[in-house]
Structure 1
Amino acid sequence: MTAANITPEFIRINQITTHEDIDISNLAKVIKCIRKTKEINPIILDEETFMVIDGHHRFYAMKMLGFSKIPAYLINYRKDYVKVNKWFRKLVNDNDMNKIVSTIIPDNDGKICMNFLSKKLCSDSEYTLYWKLNVIEKYLSSIGINVIKNSKEGIEPPSLDKEYVLSIAKKGLRFPPKTTRHSYEFIIPNYRISLNEFV
């Protein structure tokens, strides 16, 4: 697949499912941008399930603005040209934090665990562990410690595979915001579409 053969389609919003929650302040910024520019970059959807792969905030913004359709690139999520990656957590003043937070580790009884404040935080699933990690990140933020999500440095969260992500969406559940980081072995066109094209 190349940029030459990927074109946006207009998909009804009520057909679309999501797999991540959103950040309210980021959503407000996206809504403001759409209102100001009257344009939007297409979101990326799985062509089979219409699950949002990238563009959750744009999707919810258009939904809240009352649009019935949204421009989207449809791709086959299960193909090898789509990769689901993770966001590492880099802590500001990391040297001071090493004794507070360390890497996520597998536990002997099959649970997924991480060390936090000299205690082991465990869960039976990646889904619930990501939500526990989200609570920790909010706590760290409340005491003035920034958690910067990036592609390679810091605390490594558990890996997620595509079938697991699809199953979460199918159940109507949502991961915390910015849980998955998708990459593509083709170029996604970077142009905005005027809202006038599909009003």
Structure 2
Amino acid sequence: MSNDSESHSELLSRIEIVNVYSIEPHEEYIPEILEKLVHDIMVSKVLKDPILADVNRGFVIDGTHRLLALRKLNIRYIPVLNLDYLKEKILLGRWFRGFNNPDVLKIIEKNFDVRQINKFDIGYIDKLSLSIIYNKCIYEIPLGEWYVSLKNIDRLLKNFRPDFIADSLIHEKIDEYISIICYRKISRNEILNIFNRGFKFSYKTTRHIPSYRILGINMPIKYLMEDKDRCYSYLRGFKLRNVGRGVYIDNRYYEEEVYIAFK
């Protein structure tokens, strides 16, 4: 029991309070999600969960909308679970875009040079920089840097409201959509290099799965508007309850190990 207490205390100690402008998102945001989150925070007057970031690199791993919501509300600080992006055990996946509108391929063909791959092999999507699956055929979109093209395609198709499909689920989801936009596997070093050049990826490009996550600190925003000491004092009273991995919380699925903070 004492070992558990010590390890939980160590996990909690990794939550840092940082200025909202000391870290930057690596992805763009979705306006509707940001607006809803701003409203929810104003009503609840708390930030429920810390975001994930590499504080030393100024890099937001997961939590773009929460960070931008606090900026919009003129709040000074944000709680961050500080993870070394290159050293921590973090799985990096992708979010594919699923559509059931038959016009998606036509629009892409009108704006991009695409070519059909003769043989249908789902493994191709890991090799092609950018591709679209349409009625069990794979089309390559061979144009410049994949992440720039993906951003342009997302803007072109923004009114079609795609479903975002975890890359690990592509085999079971492929029959549910007329078109699925896919892209190759990416690495953390690649993400950082592009981020350091000042480029922001399209929303929901990366899918980060850390080894663990802490939820439920419910930090009052009045503390986040004051000073760090008040925030750290608030955090000191917490304990953690391990609810395991592969759990649904507030309609979100967490593959990682989840700890719920409580007093």
Q: Which TM-score band applies after superposition, normalised by the shorter structure?
A: 0.7 to 0.9
- Tell me the residue number matched to 2:219: 193
Q: How many angstroms does 1:161 deviate by?
A: 1.1
- Tell me the residue number matched to 1:6: 11
Matched, 1:79 2:79: no
Structure with the higher strand share, 1 or 2? 2
SS at match of 1:35: helix
Matched, 1:66 2:74: yes
Q: Is the 8 A contact 2:23 2:55 kept in 1?
A: no
Matched, 1:129 2:149: yes
- Tell me the residue number matched to 1:38: 45
Q: How many angstroms does 1:83 deviate by?
A: 1.4
Matched, 1:150 2:162: no
- Tell me the residue number matched to 2:250: none
Alignment of 1:161-180 (within 5 A): 161-180=187-206
In structure 2, distance between residues paired with 1:9 and 1:113: 37
- Tell me the residue number matched to 2:35: 28
Matched, 1:56 2:61: no
Deviation readout 1:65-104 (Å, 9 max, x if unpaired): 11121111101111251111101222237xx679768885
Change beyond 3 A, Cα 1:170–1:149: same
SS at match of 2:215: coil
Change beyond 3 A, Cα 1:116–1:187: closer
Q: Is the 8 A contact 2:76 2:224 kept in 1?
A: no
Change beyond 3 A, Cα 1:134–1:194: same
SS at match of 1:122: coil
In structure 2, distance between residues paired with 1:52 and 1:115: 29
The unaligned stretches of length 5 or more in structure 1 are none
Larger radius of gyration, structure 1 or 2? 2
- Tell me the residue number matched to 2:207: 181
SS at match of 1:166: helix
In structure 1, distance between residues paired with 2:8 and 2:208: 17
Q: Is the 8 A contact 1:43 1:72 kept in 2?
A: yes
SS at match of 1:6: helix
TM score, norm. by length of structure 1: 0.79
> Which letter maps to 1:131?
K
Q: Is the 8 A contact 1:3 1:189 kept in 2?
A: no
Q: Is the 8 A contact 2:50 2:215 kept in 1?
A: no
Higher relative contact order (CA 8 A, sep 6+): 1
- Tell me the residue number matched to 2:96: 88
Count of residue pairs the alignment pairs up: 187
Identity of aligned residues (%): 22
TM score, norm. by length of structure 2: 0.62
SS at match of 1:22: coil
Runs ≥4 in structure 1, deviation > 4 angstroms?
Answer: 96-107, 115-120
